[in-house]
């Protein structure tokens, strides 16, 4: 079960800015959500930093989104294909949300992912 289910908005924001500061220190600039999704997708693929085509980058971002939402039980890893690309299956629909809620949901999953990843 995710660790930060009952955190306050202030705690959430503090965790988000701490991650952004870590990313800025590591990469020299603060990444946007798309850059974070690409980073997570590359990490999940496990084949290094590229180069990737535009289509492959879109696929990597999709892998990242599925992996992130697997943390809350919405997706499950189905298989890894012969080229090493993971494929996910929708287990339960992601709840409908407006754009601001979607962004917050995505940020929360990113935080949970990096927290779990940094513990490994």
Residue 2 lies inside a defined structural domain of this protein: no
Q: Helices (DSSP H) in 2-96: which residue ranges?
A: 9-27, 33-45, 54-70
Q: Inform me whether the pLDDT recorded for 3 exceeds 60.
A: no
Interatomic CA distance for residues 26 and 36, integer angstroms:
13
Residue 106 lies inside a defined structural domain of this protein: yes
Residues 22-40 have a mean pLDDT of: 92
Q: Inform me whether the pLDDT recorded for 25 exceeds 70.
A: yes
Residue 1 lies inside a defined structural domain of this protein: no
Interatomic CA distance for residues 11 and 74, integer angstroms:
24
Residue 88 lies inside a defined structural domain of this protein: yes
pLDDT computed for residue 1 by the predictor: 38
Residue found under tokens 């890893």: 77
Residue 6 — pLDDT band, cuts 50, 70, 90?
confident
| Residue range 61-117, pLDDT digits in tens | 999 999 999 999 999 999 999 999 999 999 999 888 898 999 999 999 999 999 887
Residue 40 lies inside a defined structural domain of this protein: yes
| Residue range 44-55, pLDDT digits in tens | 999 888 789 999
Residue numbers of the domain that contains 32: 9-119
Residue 4 lies inside a defined structural domain of this protein: no
Domain count, the chain: 1
Residues 3-10 have a mean pLDDT of: 74
């Amino acid at each position: 079960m995710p660790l930060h289910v009952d955190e306050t908005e202030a705690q959430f924001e503090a965790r988000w800015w701490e991650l952004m500061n870590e990313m800025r220190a590591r990469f020299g600039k603060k990444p946007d959500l798309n850059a974070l999704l690409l980073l997570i997708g590359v990490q999940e693929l496990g084949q290094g930093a590229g180069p990737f085509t535009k289509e492959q980058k879109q696929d990597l971002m999709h892998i990242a989104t599925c992996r992130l939402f697997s943390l809350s039980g919405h997706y499950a890893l189905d298989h890894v294909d012969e080229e090493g690309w993971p494929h996910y299956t929708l287990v339960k629909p992601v709840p409908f949300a407006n754009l601001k809620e979607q962004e917050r949901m995505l940020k929360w999953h990113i935080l949970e992912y990096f927290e779990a990843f940094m513990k490994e």
